[in-house]
Amino acid sequence: MKSARLAVDIGGTFTDLALEVGGTRTTAKVLTTPATPERGVMDGFRAIVAAAGVAPADIELIIHGTTLATNAVIERKGARTALITTEGFRDVIAMGNESRYDQYDLNIVLPEPLVPRYLRLTVPERLDNTGAVLRPLDEAAVRALIPLLRQEGVESIAVGLLHAFVNPAHERRIASILHEALPDVPVSLSSEVSPEMREWERFSTTVANAYVQPMMASYVRRLETELHAAGAVAPLFLMMSGGGLTTIETACRFPIRLVESGPAGGAIFSAHIARECGLENVLSFDMGGTTAKICLIDNFKPQTARTFEVARVGRFRKGSGLPLRIPVIEMVEIGAGGGSIAHVDSMGRIGVGPESAGADPGPACYGRGGRHPAVTDANLSLGRYDPGRFAGGSIKLDVGAAHDALLADVGAKLGLTAELAGLGVIEMVDENMANAARVHAIESGKTYEGRTLIAFGGGGPVHACRVAEKVGITRVLVPSGAGVGSAIGFLRAPVGYEVVRSLYQRFSSFDVSAVNDLLEDMRAEAEAAVAKGSFGAPTTETRTAYMRYVGQGHEIPVPLPNYVLGNEDIALIRARYDGEYARFFDRPVPGSDVEIMSYAVVVTTAVQDVRAPGREESLFATEAVPARTQLVRDTTTGAVSAWAIYDRTSLAPDATITGPAIVAEDETSTLIGPGWTATVNGLGYIEMVRV
Amino acid sequence: MSHETNALAQIHRQIMWNRLIAVVEEQAQIMIRTAFSTTVREAGDLSAGIFDLQGRMMAQAVTGTPGHVNSMAESVGHFLAKFPAATMKPGDHYITNDPWLGTGHLHDLTVVTPAFHDGAIVGLFANTAHVIDIGGLGMGPEGRSVFEEGMYIPIVKCFDEGRPNETFFDFMRAGSRLPVELEGDIYSLCACNDAGAKRLVEMMDEFEMTSLDPLAAFIFDSSRRATLAEIARLPSGTYQGEIYSDGYEEPVRLAASMDISDDAIEVDFAGTSGLSSRGINVPPAYCRAYSSFGIKCVVAPEIPNNWASLAPFRMKIPDGCILNAPRPYPVSVRHVIGHLLPDLMMSCLHQAVPERVTAEGASSLWNPPLRGGGSISGQARGNKPVVADFEIITFNSGGTGARPTRDGLNATAFPSGVRTMPVEATENVAPIVLWRKELKPDSGGAGRTRGGVGQIMEIATKGDLEFAVNASFDRIAHAPKGREGGLNGANGRVAQKSGTILRTKGFQVIPDGERLILELPGGAGMGDPAARDPVLVARDVRDGLVSAANARDLYKVAVTDRFAVDAAETARLRSGGRTPAPPV
């Protein structure tokens, strides 16, 4: 029996599959079938099994990620959901933080809550900040809501009470009353979904969980049934936004943790490439048709965060979405992709995005009716694409249409030729991505010195060198297989689970035994979740405390030792905090006490070890032979010259190329800028270095 | 070829401008992440920017609140007047909270830091933040001069070539109720300017710049031209407006005459009431800040804030009026009146460009400074139980005015750019309990588009023990006004739970067993309520934001028991009560 592993990634347009057996990888792409997503998955399943020549029963593990939960929230296609909350706090999810995400726009639209006001119901009860009962739960008032819930046809219920993360008793009691009366309606508790301080974020997360739960649970069960019917006996695992895998059971309880699993797969793909090539500090750069996503990866682990915004109404603007407090791989998404449209603002400045021409009509050069210049048009005008070979020759690019659009919307307004307008557009989009990357590093307390940029997606390899130059990176890697990067990433993900709990303490009165009890509890919960999928594989545990100076508002993560803490460890933890704080912000504050807000425990199976191919200089380096030349305009100097063009498929390992040059392949082009040299490594990846 | 060289240079200058805005945004983010006061880290009551050596603001962070931004823009010039650029050294940081040299009250600290490149000073970073406590009476209107309102910091060095000025910090620690937060915040302000300066040096290296002057000239020239172009699109003329604040002793009239010409918008505040003996007076820089903000939102919202884009908006503020408070008049809660200025500007602009202006909103932030402990009324003397000492402020907002094509925003800050704090976080830092914080039905002014809905708050201490509020609330006697037939928003209300009405301004004790009730105003409506889409009215009724009675009386819409529009009855109501003729 062969031991094959299958990954399935459902995206908005395509469902990607990747199957690995005995070191051989087969991939497949089928159209997503939004109404019944399992249909698309099964089409792909049959195709890939046949192509790889394996029997369904030979598959030992199936890993699945999907944007279905995200799309349900964006498109408002979730369950009819009610929220039961503390009397006096009916509007927490509507009032948010009472601010506007744009100070100067009088016409902004704020996101509509997922539960309308008439389904936000309150019950008398109140806890204080220590969890003590200020007002007992009025159980009769809970029961009195049941006829309304029935009458309104409510399909899912969220319960969010103030301070319930400290004391969940009232929420649990409400759940049991609801279960008795409405046994078929799922209930999400804020004390389970997101047990952390800050009622808006916690309630918003709980409501979103309830909103997607019926649909996700039903879909996952249907898929499982169909896979079994097709002869697959392997367990099904789901990819979480935090980068770990989980069981069906956990996924059905906390489906909100599945949001953004596709991009998480992309980050894990990058992390895997980093591990293969022994790169300890990486910037993952995934540029597609409408957005670019960047993620910092240190020691082969993508950076993680605990908050996330979904369904932004303000065009990628921070603060314009619904907040979710769940473990996520931290990514910055910028409205900058091949389809992003360029314009000139009232100050005569070139702007790019976030509006996108999408796939239809697409950039002007697609010749499908797009009238406005997109980033792809600008790249074409600079000579970076061969109009006859774009996307493997499946789309013939219309250079004239690109020029016309650039001239009309940008050039004419600034007195620039179409080519120089194109140069301005590319420089500006590269600058925007670099600025976002720089701010992200600041927020993370990291730098770009010594980091390698890993570029993938349709646009990543085209823009990588210039973005790298702008943030001060001197090494760029373009892997192969980037078209289904997320699915491949799933195959590299560990089975893992993260538990986060709040326990507020000041350092000056640190209660070691309370912390030990809490951490032990959390470890047990995380291990139980992982045990269902790890089949006894060895696991590792990491513990983190979120700490800050008393009075500050933003915690920094501080690693904790994994053993039972003793009093002697207090000084050690404080020293680690001071070290981390100085690393983030340079200037420690003398004489201030430190407080601990919450803890995280992650239990995970070990990440597959990969043999690094070795990075020694090859004895057999050979200058690659270009297929042709093309006139290309350099964006830094503006000069036009004949650049060598190589076909990626004909490049052997150890082939070297001196920039400026372009390596063309079906899915993308890799631009090797002036001053950069490239080598194809043993894995077939293009490695570029700035000299 | 030279045409091409010029074109490239033009593109590069645009890139550099973009980079400069990213640099100041990083500066602001660092402040938020390191600040101690909830006012900065949770509420975002701050601003950050970079200035040329003449003290002209080149770029400002998008993050921040308008009152700070535009008044900070004036501030750097005052620092340079006292400490000329040539005397500044690397590692120096300068600070003030002078209301007349900074942003209008003692609670706002402004820090200025020189940036050096290749040993030469090239520019200045500045930022402003609202700290929770600066000693004195605490934030509130009760002072009769600025000297009672807190510690007064003239422009001094807080760091000298990297060394903290310990004498200065000793004064700060000794004079504040919250010394740790105050000192931590000052460190944070300096750290964020350092971060900005570091980024600026990297940028100058990358673009091989030796001076910021050519870039400043480009930014100022582009911004000025763009702003003037927007002004030229407006119908020229002189437009009048007025608005009333409840005031402290008596109502305050704010009057404006706005003259729109081809190349400037000039506002004359003649006719405005005189000075108050209490801390609601507005220093002139703060008046200019919020007036320019109100104009800019309507006229040129997309143009980045800098010296040149603000320059065409000019204010004539007569001596002796409440918008031109001289030192040492009290100014602690100058925002109460200052926040009404955008509404006043829009009253004028409505006559010029009605389709771009909103109805009046709650506007003045409701930020109750709360204090508790034994010293409030001396209860501890009588051996009665008292709550632990605390000092806290929270930021809360009523509804914004209806917009020409959209409803106003419910319980959302405008013109202020601050955020509210989570109730759970507030209750963790002070022994208080918020028993209620939710939207207030029927408070949004009726109109074709509805005003944003206000909110109700019920505040007590743990155990319902005595505490005090230093009230500085407005729009209780003077509700937000509708436009084009839209109705006014609901008035605010300040009371004890038992019903006793409290004064809208001033220090007042909430005795044992009582709670503080704040009803925040709703925004006003725009257009005839009877022209509102009946489906939206029915939705509001179902959501409990509009009562069925108001739907019928004000909007002329009848809603069924199942929250559908009763079309026949609605048609009858909207035709003035007559049964409409059947369609022909």
pTM of the model: 0.89
B59 and A CB contact within 8 Å: no
Q: ipTM score of the complex? A: 0.93
B506 and A CB contact within 8 Å: no
Residue A548 is encoded by which pair of tokens? 């800050």
Would you say residue A1 has pLDDT above 50?
no
Q: Look at residue A616 in the predicted model and tell me its pLDDT.
A: 45
Q: Look at residue A261 in the predicted model and tell me its pLDDT.
A: 84
Instruction: Outline where B382-465 has alpha helix (H).
Output: 423-429
Q: Which one of A92, A99, A470 would you mutate to disrupt binding with B, by most B Cβ within 10 Å of its Cβ?
A: A99
What is d(CA A112, CA B467) in angstroms, rounded to the nearest whole number? 37
What is d(CA A538, CA B507) in angstroms, rounded to the nearest whole number? 64
CB contact under 8 A, A589 and B184: yes
pLDDT band, very low/low/confident/very high, at A486 (cuts 50, 70, 90): confident
**Single-letter amino acid code for the residue at B126:** A
Q: Which of B229, B230, B439 sits opposite A91 (nearest CB)?
A: B439
In terms of residues, how long is chain B? Answer: 584
CB contact under 8 A, A95 and B420: yes
A196 dihedral zone (left: phi>0; alpha: psi -120 to 50; beta): beta
- Tell me the per-residue pLDDT of A497-543, one tens digit each, with 9 for 90 and over: 777 787 878 888 888 899 999 999 989 988 887 887 676 778 889 89
Nearest CA-CA distance, residue B578 and chain A, Å? 33
Would you say residue A393 has pLDDT above 50?
yes
Q: How many helices (H) and strands (E) does chain B have?
A: 14, 19
Number of Cα atoms under 13 Å in the Cβ half of residue B17? 28
Average pLDDT of the residues in A345-357: 85
> How crowded is residue A514: how many other Cβ atoms within 10 Å of its Cβ?
11
CATH number, domain A74-216, options 3.20.16, 3.30.530, 3.40.1360, 2.60.40:
3.40.1360
Q: Which of B413, B414, B543 sits opposite A116 (nearest CB)?
A: B543
Would you say residue A324 has pLDDT above 60?
yes
CB contact under 8 A, B15 and A428: yes
Backbone φ and ψ for B574, nearest 5 degrees, come out as -75, -15
Q: Which of B4, B30, B226 sits opposite A347 (nearest CB)?
A: B226
Q: Which one of B8, B17, B132 would you mutate to disrupt binding with A, by most A Cβ within 10 Å of its Cβ?
A: B8
Nearest CA-CA distance, residue B464 and chain A, Å? 11
What is d(CA A399, CA A90) in angstroms, rounded to the nearest whole number? 57
SS3 B113: strand
Q: Which of A110-124, A140-154, A612-626 has the lowest mean pLDDT?
A: A612-626
- Tell me the per-residue pLDDT of A42-66, one tens digit each, with 9 for 90 and over: 999 999 999 999 999 999 889 998 8
CATH code linked to domain A495-605: 3.30.1490
B145 and A CB contact within 8 Å: no
Average pLDDT of the residues in A6-10: 90
Q: Look at residue A608 in the predicted model and tell me its pLDDT.
A: 60
Q: Which of A197-206, A253-262, B2-11, B292-301 has the lowest mean pLDDT?
A: B2-11
CB contact under 8 A, B544 and A118: yes
Q: Look at residue B68 in the predicted model and tell me its pLDDT.
A: 74
CB contact under 8 A, B428 and A129: yes
Q: Look at residue A613 in the predicted model and tell me its pLDDT.
A: 42
Q: Which of A350, A431, A549 sits opposite B19 (nearest CB)?
A: A431
Nearest CA-CA distance, residue B410 and chain A, Å? 7
Nearest CA-CA distance, residue B301 and chain A, Å? 5
Residues in chain A closer than 8 A to B184 (CB atoms): 549, 551-552, 589, 592
B9 and A CB contact within 8 Å: no
Pairs of residues, one from chain A and one from chain B, whose beta carbons lie less than 8 Å apart: 220
> How crowded is residue B243: how many other Cβ atoms within 10 Å of its Cβ?
22
Regions in chain B scoring below 70 on pLDDT: 1-2, 379-381, 577-584
Helix orientation angle between B213-232 and B284-299, rounded to the nearest 10 degrees: 70
Q: Look at residue A399 in the predicted model and tell me its pLDDT.
A: 94
Q: Look at residue A577 in the predicted model and tell me its pLDDT.
A: 87
Backbone φ and ψ for A681, nearest 5 degrees, come out as -85, 180
pLDDT band, very low/low/confident/very high, at A457 (cuts 50, 70, 90): confident
CATH number, domain A4-73+217-257, options 3.20.20.150, 3.40.50.300, 3.30.420.40, 3.30.499.10:
3.30.420.40
Q: Look at residue A398 in the predicted model and tell me its pLDDT.
A: 94
CB contact under 8 A, A438 and B195: no
CB contact under 8 A, A99 and B44: yes
Residue A688 is encoded by which pair of tokens? 């570029």
| Domain residue spans of chain A | 4-73+217-257, 74-216, 495-605, 622-690
Residues in chain B closer than 8 A to A163 (CB atoms): 424, 427
What is d(CA B315, CA B308) in angstroms, rounded to the nearest whole number? 15
Nearest CA-CA distance, residue B579 and chain A, Å? 32
B198 and A CB contact within 8 Å: no
Bridge pairing between strands A292-298 and A332-334: antiparallel
Whether residue A354 has a cis bond before it, omega within 30° of 0: yes
Q: Which one of B34, B45, B188 would you mutate to disrupt binding with A, by most A Cβ within 10 Å of its Cβ?
A: B34
B428 and A CB contact within 8 Å: yes
Name the most confidently modeled range: A278-292, A654-668, B481-495.
B481-495
B41 and A CB contact within 8 Å: yes
Q: Which one of B423, B442, B464, B540 would you mutate to disrupt binding with A, by most A Cβ within 10 Å of its Cβ?
A: B423
Residue A96 is encoded by which pair of tokens? 């948010």
Query: Which has more pLDDT, A234 or A140?
Result: A140
pLDDT band, very low/low/confident/very high, at A587 (cuts 50, 70, 90): low
CB contact under 8 A, B11 and A423: yes
pLDDT band, very low/low/confident/very high, at A348 (cuts 50, 70, 90): confident
Average pLDDT of the residues in A98-122: 94
Q: Look at residue A612 in the predicted model and tell me its pLDDT.
A: 43
Across the strands, what pairs with A501? A599
Q: CA of A376: how far to CAs of A127, A366, A469, A539, B304, in Å?
A: 56, 9, 21, 45, 28
Taking the alpha carbons of B278, B281, B283, B285 in that order, is the dihedral positive or negative? Answer: positive
Using CA atoms in the order B495, B501, B507, B509, what is the torsion angle rounded to 10 degrees? -70
B439 and A CB contact within 8 Å: yes
What is d(CA A142, CA A179) in angstroms, rounded to the nearest whole number? 12
Q: CA of B362: how far to CAs of B167, B318, B452, in Å?
A: 43, 26, 9
